[in-house]
Amino acid sequence: MKEKKGTSQKARRDKSKERTFFLFTVPGFLLYSFFFIVPVLMGIYYSITDWDGISKSYNFIGLGNYVKIFHTNQFLDALFFTLKYTALLIVFTIVLGIVIAMLLNRKIKGRGFFRTVYFIPAVLSSLTVGLIFNKICYYMIPVIGNALHIQALSQNPLADKNLAMWTILFVNLWQGLCIPTLLFLAGLQSVPVDLYDGAALDGASSWDIFRYITLPFILPVVSVVFVLTLKSGLMVFDYIKAMTDGGPGSATRSVAMLIYKHGFTQNKYAFSIAESIVMGILVAAISAAQIYFTDKKKAV
Amino acid sequence: MRSRKLSITMAAILAAGAILSGCSQGSSSGGAEAPGGADTKAAEDGGGSGESSGSGIELELFISKPEVVEVMEDIAGKFCEENPGVNIEVVSSDDGRTVVQTRAASNKLPDIMNTFPAEDFYKNMFKEGYFEEITDQEFLSKVNAETMEMSDCDGSFYAVPMSLSTYGIYANMDVLNANGITKTPDTWEELIADLETLKANGVTGFLMPDKDVGNVAQRFERTAGIINNDSYSEFKKVADGEMEAKDSPTLKTWCDYNEQLLQYTTDDHMGMDYDIAAAEFSNGNAGFMLSGTWMLSTVQKNNPDAKVELFAFPHPRGEATKVPVNIDTSFSISSTCADKELGLKFLEFMTRPDIAQMYCDVDGNVSTIEGVEYNIPEHANMKAAVDQGNIFLTAVNFWPNGLREEIRDGCQTFLSDCDRESFFESCQEAIEVIYGDNQ
């Protein structure tokens, strides 16, 4: 009898706990629904119309906008550019981020100063950085290129369709590396020093130490940086808008730029929303793959 | 295993949600609010303020022409002096269209703002009720009748046009005179001869800010209009399959004249944007540059001593040339204006000859207000063209919405590589897509 009473009290306590947990999730759920789920549903709704962003009336056209996306190569070209840009951004961010973090993790004179200096670009707005580099590319780069007899840099690199993307990537890295570097630095400081000492005594090479000690410890940070950089790469807009406006021609037109162009300069709002939904599905697929592989790695 | 799969799926959905909402936030929320929102506010306002205007009221005046912000601040100051208790805040951005769309989406259009009443985009906004109709206002009688005709929107008026912009070629007379050229050219051959002279003397002949895709688009639209005043019909034939873009006389002539001009421009023209080109031109580093009457204030700001003249762009095939004009500064009051009576009062204030004169002297465009003297010697040629009626309303007002923006990438690429085949292909696609969208 006593045992039965104890069980029911425990069940009541559990229920009350569950209710408390549920109540804690309600504000987050409501906020997320209001700011994310509702706009997505509204986006899906408008994507099957011919709404121009101004008119109070519009017609339902079914999947017409989705079909039209693939009538020309614009979307695929922009998608190819975006994926290429994102892949390069991820590789450079992770590699350079780890290298800089390892350098800043060394016991060198003025370490605090260097750490601060490397973080300064992070506090600037990306649009401002883009505009500053836009002027640097016109006024300074050709002077340097001519002085050093580098033909490719003897003119504004943003004007060259082969160099424009690399220039934007450089500026993005110049500013965007700060946070990943900081994260890697924090990850490096979590590696126990005695492991390094032990490896050194065993005669491990620098590469072995990095591969078998440092990398496994910072792998969770690499995963976080990967996701953050993936998102910023796929949504790249500010730097391109400030530096090339998608040009020369359409050489640096990302999907975000294309969506902006169709929405804001041509009033094809419903169409641009359909494009953003297609992009969203692709991002979901990439995110799912990334999460799956990270999860698998952890399980191993 | 199952829960892991579930968590992966959920995480993917949430990630997609975050991205999608990021992409569609602006436009979809606009869709939700703009249609109903504008109506509600208009109804609340009851179509005008019943209270006496002018006590402790603040109005926002938005202007998409940064070069006239200072004079607008002065004018707003004078208006406030006349109307104690009123404060007008002048806000400016050079990307007016984007600002208008985002502000309309959030139902917060500026109280008073400059619009372009001849353009389709603004006409649609007028028809949708975003702006107040001012057809019956007395002050409209002070505006030149022909200009009023151009700003007509289905028999109604929603804006008071203050000036007409004209487009042509600016000549830096200091540079020309220093190289023995005493007058601006009248024909294409004379222009090329002048450019040859400058080139022989090691001077940059023609500035082409080809990095600025917006400027490239405008140059294409204005000069395609000069080559064929009815370019709309020619492109319609392309869209309808009656003609191919590669056979379009307008597009071919556009390629021809640009190929010629590229011989006299700077090596880094593809890296030069409009601001840099305007500064270079003002400071006497080139002989000619294509632009409109609005550029004068920038030139004078860059170099107050610069001696410049604007002349008509000669037809590259030697045919008679007309000057493209567009209604430039026009003021409208939004349907969400905090005090419509006061807004109308400001519009009336802008049409007073002394105020319109004050504006015109800085703006540089041809004033459309009666009683205003156009005392800008730099634009004497343009004034003469307007007076003689040797003008046409520029193509952007007739082309289907978005054509200029769709075709500009191909134009910019052509200016970089002069590849006609790919230019015609890109024009063919752009024309078909945009005419198809606007059917």
B71 Cβ contact partners less than 8 Å away, ≥ 6 residues apart: B358, B359, B362, B363
B180 Cβ contact partners less than 8 Å away, ≥ 6 residues apart: B197
Residue B149 shares a structural domain with residue B189: no
Question: Is residue B388 domain-resident?
Answer: no
Q: Which residues are A64's β-sheet partners?
A: none
Interface of B with A in 414-433 (CB under 8 A): 416, 429, 433
- pLDDT score of B439: 76
Q: Could you give the CA distance from residue B287 to residue A255 in angstroms, rounded to a whole number?
A: 39
B213-264 pLDDT per residue, tens: 999 999 999 999 999 999 999 999 999 999 999 999 999 999 999 999 999 9
Check pLDDT > 80 for residue B18: no
Question: A71-299 adopts what CATH topology?
Answer: MetI-like fold (1.10.3720)
Residue B423 shares a structural domain with residue B345: no
Q: How many CA atoms lie within 13 A of B61 on its CB side?
A: 29
Interface of B with A in 109-168 (CB under 8 A): 121, 124-125, 128-130
Question: Is residue B379 domain-resident?
Answer: no
| Domain interval for residue B421 | 165-326+393-437
Sign of the dihedral defined by the CA atoms of residues A162, A163, A166, A167, in that order: negative
Check pLDDT > 80 for residue B37: no
- pLDDT score of B153: 94
Instruction: Give the residue from chain A lying closest to B215, CA to CA.
Output: A245
Q: Could you give the CA distance from residue B105 to residue B103 in angstroms, rounded to a whole number?
A: 5
Q: What ipTM did this prediction achieve?
A: 0.84
Question: Is residue B14 domain-resident?
Answer: no
Residue B119 shares a structural domain with residue B173: no
Residue B109 shares a structural domain with residue B226: no
Cβ <8 Å between A267 and B401: yes
B405-434 pLDDT per residue, tens: 999 999 999 999 999 999 999 999 999 999
- pLDDT score of B55: 56
- pLDDT score of B378: 94
Cβ <8 Å between B409 and A161: no
**Where do we find the tokens 């459309």?**
B368
Q: In what order do the strands lie in the sheet with B86-92?
A: B86-92, B57-63, B112-114, B330-333, B160-161
- pLDDT score of A290: 79
Residue B308 shares a structural domain with residue B211: yes
Question: Is residue B312 domain-resident?
Answer: yes
Residue B399 shares a structural domain with residue B253: yes
Question: Is residue B203 domain-resident?
Answer: yes
Q: Which residues are B92's β-sheet partners?
A: B63
Instruction: List the alpha helices (DSSP H) in B1-142.
Output: 2-45, 69-82, 96-105, 120-127
Number of domains in chain B: 2
Nearest residue to A9 (alpha-carbon basis) of A1, A143, B135:
A1
Residue B340's CATH number:
3.40.190.10
Option in A261, A281, A291 nearest B8 (CB): A291
Residue type, A122: A
Residue B336 shares a structural domain with residue B312: no
Cβ <8 Å between B268 and A156: yes
Residue B158 shares a structural domain with residue B110: yes
Question: Is residue B151 domain-resident?
Answer: yes
In this structure, what is the dihedral angle of CA atoms A162, A163, A166, A171, given to the nearest 10 degrees?
-150
**B42 in reach of chain A (CB within 8 A):** no
Nearest residue to B391 (alpha-carbon basis) of B370, B365, B369, B411:
B365
Residue B50 shares a structural domain with residue B137: yes
Residue B78 shares a structural domain with residue B92: yes
- pLDDT score of A263: 92
Cβ <8 Å between B15 and A284: yes
Residue B244 shares a structural domain with residue B216: yes
Q: How many CA atoms lie within 13 A of B88 on its CB side?
A: 30
pLDDT, mean of residues B19-41 = 34
Residues of B whose CB is below 8 A from A72 = 429, 433
Q: Could you give the CA distance from residue B148 to residue B309 in angstroms, rounded to a whole number?
A: 28
- pLDDT score of A113: 84
**A145 in reach of chain B (CB within 8 A):** no
Cβ <8 Å between A40 and B20: yes
Cis peptide before A248 (omega within 30 of 0): yes
Check pLDDT > 80 for residue A131: yes
Cβ <8 Å between B19 and A266: no
Angle subtended by helix axes A111-119 and A178-188, to nearest 10: 140
Check pLDDT > 90 for residue B323: yes
Residue B213 shares a structural domain with residue B309: yes
DSSP B52: P
Would you list the DSSP string of A113-148?
A: HHHHHHHGGGGS-HHHHHHHHHHHHHHTHHHHHHHT
- pLDDT score of A3: 61
